[in-house]
Structure 1
C-alpha cells in the first residue's frame, strides 16, 4: 500500500482519506412563510432538507430560474417548495483562525479534511427502485419511507426523485416530518393538464441519503 493518511473506524470503514475530499457543512437556509416557493438551491452545493413538523419540502423540477451566482456564471436553479431548513454542504475550505486541530491535505496541497468543520455524515441510504410498489398510507398520505431517528436530527439529501404523471398532476416524492418521523411522501410536483406532454417519460425510482445535522 502506498504512503498516505487514513482514518478507519472500528468497523473497518475509512472515515478520512488524503486522496478523497470530504464535504463539510457551509450554511443553513430557512424556508418560511415569507419566502416559500422562492428559494433556489445552489447547484454547486449538496443540500439536505429537513421540514418543520407536519410539513413537506420538495424540489420543483418544472419550475426553474436563471441565476448569476458569486462565481460569475449563469446557473439554472430548480425551485424549492415548503417550510423547513436547507443544510448546504460543500468542499472543505481553509479557515483563518489559529486554533489547534487536524488538517489533511492531498498530494496537490489541497485541503481535504479539517477537524474544525462539520463533515457530511451519512446515516443511511434510501434506495427504492419503484415507489409505486412500496407506498403505504400513513395518516391518509401515501408514504414511501419513514423512520424516527430518536435524538439525532436527520435530514435528507435527494439524489434521484421519482417523477410521474397521475391524471392532470405531475407527482414526486417530498421530504416530510410527521410526529418525529422523517419520511418520503407522495406529493404534487406540479398541477398542469399538459404535464404528460411536457415530460418525456416517468421515473419511479427514489435514491436519497439520510444525513446527521445535529447541532448544525
Structure 2
C-alpha cells in the first residue's frame, strides 16, 4: 500500500502508524512516484496546510489526474486536508476548485460559533472531540458509536449528499467528520494522533477490501 506524498502535512507520523498496524507481509510506502501510486492495492491520502498549496502540488506532480480512478477502484483513505480536497470547492484562499470526487463544498467555521452553554468557541477547532457514527461502515468495526479523535482544522466539509456522511462531530453546529463513497473513506481528524480508536480505524482500513 502507498501513502501519497505531495509535500503537505506530517506524512511520516501517518506512515509510522500504518506500519505499526500493518498485517505481516504488507509493505507501507511513502511515495510521490506515479507508477508506485498507480500500482498500490490501497492508498492513504493525508494532508495539512492550505488548500491552494495542496492543489498546486498535486497538479505539479500529476497526482490530481490519477486520483479519480484510483479512489474509485481500491481502498482509499483521505485524512484531514486529504478529506477536504475530495470535494468540489473550498472557501479557503479566496476560493479554490478541488478534485470534485465528492459533491459538496468546504467552508470555514463561523467566527462567532458558540457551544451549548453559549460560550464562544475557538477557531481552529483543535483537540479531542467525538466522532459519532451515523451510518454503518466496515471501518467502524470494533469502535464505539461515539469514538474520540484528534482534530486541528478551521474548515469543514459540507457534502451535498447526506447518504455519504458516515460520522458527525459537534463544534458549534454539527459537521460531517467522516464521509464515504464506494471504496473511498475520508475523515477530518488525524487517526494517527488519536490513540487506540485511531489505530483501530487504521487497522480496519488495512484489512478492508473496499466493499460497502
TM-score of Structure 1 vs Structure 2, range by shorter chain: under 0.3
Larger strand share, 1 or 2: 1
Could you state the TM-score of these two structures normalised by the residue count of structure 2? 0.22
Alignment TM-score, normalising by the size of structure 1: 0.22
Answer 1 or 2: higher relative contact order, Cα 8 Å, separation at least 6: 1
Q: Which has the higher helix share?
A: 2
Q: Larger radius of gyration, structure 1 or 2?
A: 1
